[in-house]
Amino acid sequence: MYLEHWELKEKPFENTPDPRFFFQSDQHREALMRILYAIHEAKGAALLTGEYGCGKTTLMRTVINEIDPHLFPVVLLTNPRWSAEELLREILYQLGTDEIPDRKNEVLHLINDHLYKNVTAGKHTVLMVDEAQVIEDPMTFEELRLLLNFQLNDRFMLSLLFAGQPELRDKMRKLPQLVQRVAVKYHLVPLNLEESIKYIDYRMALAGSLREVFSRDALKDIYSYSGGTPRKINNLCDLALAIGAGNRLTTVDRDLVRSIVDSETSGGSYEW
Q: What is the model's pLDDT at position 12?
A: 97
pLDDT of residue 266: 55
- Whether pLDDT at 267 is above 70: no
What pTM does this model have?
A: 0.91
Is residue 37 pLDDT above 90, yes or no? yes
The average pLDDT across 227-249 equals 97
pLDDT at 46 over 90: yes
Query: Over pLDDT 70: what percentage of the chain?
Result: 97
Mean pLDDT, residues 109-129: 96
Listed in sequence order, the residues at least 6 apart from 61 whose beta carbon sits closer than 8 Å to its beta carbon are: 17, 18, 19, 22
pLDDT per residue over 164-189, tens digit each? 999 999 999 989 999 999 999 999 99
If you average pLDDT over residues 132-142, what whole number do you get? 92
The reply to whether domains 3-8+191-265 and 26-188 share a CATH topology is no
Mean pLDDT of the region 36-41: 96
Q: How far apart are CA 242 and CA 8, in angstroms?
A: 12
Give DSSP secondary structure letters for the chain. --HHHHT-SS-S---S--GGG----HHHHHHHHHHHHHHHTT-SEEEEEE-TTSSHHHHHHHHHHHS-TTTS-EEEES---S-HHHHHHHHHHHTT-SS--SSHHHHHHHHHHHHHHHHHTT--EEEEETTGGG---HHHHHHHHHHTT-B-SSSBSEEEEEEE-THHHHHHHT-HHHHTTEEEEEEE----HHHHHHHHHHHHHHTT--S--B-HHHHHHHHHHHTT-HHHHHHHHHHHHHHHHHTT-SSB-HHHHHHHHHHHHTTS----
Indicate whether 210 pLDDT > 90. yes
pLDDT > 90? residue 271:
no
Res 269: pLDDT: 41
What is the average pLDDT across 50-60?
94
Does 218 score more than 60 pLDDT?
Answer: yes
Model pLDDT, residue 270: 43
What pLDDT is stored for residue 45 in this prediction? Answer: 95
Q: How much is the pLDDT for 272?
A: 42
Counting beta carbons within 10 angstroms of the beta carbon of residue 64, is it exposed (0 to 12), middle (13 to 18) or buried (19 or more)? middle
- Which residue ranges make up each domain of the chain? 3-8+191-265, 26-188
CATH label, 26-188, candidates 1.10.3720.10, 3.30.420.40, 3.40.50.300, 3.40.50.12280 = 3.40.50.300
d(CA 55, CA 23): 9
Question: What's the confidence (pLDDT) of residue 80?
Answer: 84
Task: Report yes or no: 251 and 213 within 8 Å, Cβ to Cβ.
Answer: yes
Beta bridge partners of 151: 156
Task: Answer whether CATH 1.10.760 is correct for domain 3-8+191-265.
Answer: no
